[in-house]
Amino acid sequence: MKFNKVLIANRGEIAVRIAQACQKMGLASVAVYSEADAGALHTQVADEAVLIGPAAARLSYLNIPAVLAAAQASGAQAVHPGYGFLAENAEFAQAILDAGLVWVGPPPAAMRAMGDKASARERMLQAGVPVLPGYQGPDSTGELEAAAAALGYPLLVKAAAGGGGVGQRVVHAAAELPEAIAAARREAASAFGDERLMLEKYLATARHVEVQVLGDQHGKLLHLFERECSLQRRRQKIVEETPSPLIDGALREAMCAAATAAAAAVDYTNAGTVEFLVDPATGEFYFLEMNTRLQVEHPVTELTTGIDIVEWQLRIAAGEPLTVQQAHVRQHGHAIECRIYAEDPSAGFLPQAGEVLRLQWPLAARVDAGIAEGSQVSVHYDPMLAKLSVHADDRQSAITAMQAALADTVLLGVINNIDFLQAVLADPQMAFGDFDTQTIERAFAAWQPPLLPPEALLAAAALELQPTEGPPSAADPYSPWATASGFRMGRGGVL
């Protein structure tokens, strides 16, 4: 290959995932870490680890000179950015290329074209990719007011440079518009240093369906089908699956074709995801944005297509051609992913911190984890701890398998959303595949964790009475579970 050592400019589960892909391919991997992440799992899985700065992300994981220096000092010849942090930062990609290193991602020009919402919209219109009715152009308040009147309400005022919901306002009536424009402009100016605004029709209920694409540097561009990502809280996905239960064959075909057209319009290479909104009332779909990087939920696509997306990212970056033909990319069965977050779903999904005291992963699931027993979960970064993914013949079997996997996961010491995910999967709306991006907030706002069962009190009292050191109590030889030979006491017990 063109390189044999890869620096992973990320942390958590995705850094672990990329390090494992490197191992599989015989490539050396270099992790970077902040002071808060000393000893973190990703630093142990990679072959080397380089300290790049203090806990604050802007001084470490977002610090371009520090990451670049780590790459050069470690002798890495390629940089994989993962997702989040610098992954969609075109200046970072350019800096990597300018330093003579290989960027494991799309060309900076494609990243810029898709990063600017107004220019992306323009290009999609030219490429014949459906976009929501909207307006981009001269954006004085007067011009926006005139455009809004023509467009109708409700609409979304959106920062042209933005992303992630920053600089966005939903407007239901003309009277609210001037205030929304002023607020969005302020936010956009401070977040992106660019106060340009655009307008888009607002879909109150919509489904979020995205298409994975993969392009090599020799002009071949594939789609790897869609992922259904409508189950979200605070605009963050928590359950993803493929195939989407919400679209039929004709819609799937149209969306996948639109996704490859969108990627081709910006000369895209490497892995990327084209996000669409689907209007459940009309079945129409609209381009939302393109994520010019690896996506969190890529495992469900890997499980159903058998294609290792991270491995292909590295191969493509090394200049290798895609060996798969589009006609041979098939989906087999159904896959579901659940994201495990350190958060309290009964208290507004408030992020949680602490030490992972006990951890036991289910055997019958793919686990992408950024934590191990003893890991410290800090307040400095995204609270996602791990992802569970299951693959089964059909959707109902996959739901059942995921429920079992969640129930079998022991994660003690940090409050998390595992009980909440179980409730979501057990909901009839999930079984019918009938949900949209607002379902979680509507249906689970008053969710409370299960009540304390008497067995828990009994167990707590039993632990108080047991000596913390010493032999097990007299075994009943006739009991089927009297095989406690691996007796271990101390800070905790594992299932």
Partner 1 sequence: MKFYYSHRGQTHSIEVQAQGDRLRATVDGETVEALVRQGQSLQLTLAGQPMDIAWAKDGRTIWLHVAGHSYQLERVAGGRAGSTAGSAERSLRAPMPGQVRKVLVEPGQPVAAGSVLVLLEAMKMEVRISAGQDAKVAHIAVSEGQSVDKDQLLVELEPTDGG
Residues with active-site annotation: 293
Which residues face 222 on adjacent strands?
214
Interface region with partner 1, contact rule CB under 8 A, candidates 70-78, 173-181, 329-337, 378-386: 378-386
Pick from 166, 167, 137, 132: which is nearest to 152 by CA? 132
Residue 36's φ and ψ, nearest 5 degrees, are -70, -20
- Nearest approach, Cβ of 408 to partner 1 (angstroms)? 7
Interface region with partner 1, contact rule CB under 8 A, candidates 91-99, 269-277, 303-311, 373-381: 373-381
- Nearest approach, Cβ of 354 to partner 1 (angstroms)? 8
- Nearest approach, Cβ of 388 to partner 1 (angstroms)? 14
- Nearest approach, Cβ of 452 to partner 1 (angstroms)? 5
Distance CA 202, CA 199 (A): 9
Nearer to partner 1, 326 or 360 (CB): 360
Residue 486 in contact with partner 1, rule: CB under 8 A: yes
Residues 4-33 contacting partner 1, CB under 8 A:
none
Distance CA 411, CA 418 (A): 9
Strand ranges for 353-426 from DSSP E: 354-355, 358-360, 366-369, 376-377, 384-392, 410-412
Residues 431-470 contacting partner 1, CB under 8 A:
449-450, 452-466
Residue 280's φ and ψ, nearest 5 degrees, are -65, -25
DSSP string, 110-141: HHHHHHSHHHHHHHHHHHT--B-SEE-S---H
Interface region with partner 1, contact rule CB under 8 A, candidates 86-94, 198-206, 237-245, 474-482: 474-482
Residue 204 in contact with partner 1, rule: CB under 8 A: no
Print the binding letters for residues 91-110 with partner 1: x by CB under 8 A, - otherwise: --------------------
| In contact, 429 and 205? CB cutoff 8 Å | no
Nearer to partner 1, 2 or 186 (CB): 186
Nearer to partner 1, 243 or 383 (CB): 383
Tell me which of 108, 299, 345, 413 binds partner 1, using CB under 8 A.
413
Residue 163, token pair as written in the block:
């992303």
Residue 174 in contact with partner 1, rule: CB under 8 A: no
Amino acid at the residue 102 = V
Nearer to partner 1, 327 or 347 (CB): 347
Residue 488 in contact with partner 1, rule: CB under 8 A: yes
Looking up tokens 């701890």 gives 385
Tell me which of 380, 397, 427, 433 binds partner 1, using CB under 8 A.
380
Distance CA 286, CA 130 (A): 5
Looking up tokens 């819609």 gives 251
Residue 54 in contact with partner 1, rule: CB under 8 A: no
List the 48-53 sheet strands across, edge first: 48-53, 28-34, 5-8, 78-80, 102-103
Q: Which residues bind partner 1 (CB under 8 A)?
A: 347, 350-355, 357-358, 360, 378-383, 406-408, 410-413, 415-416, 418-419, 422, 449-450, 452-466, 472-476, 479-484, 486-489, 491-495
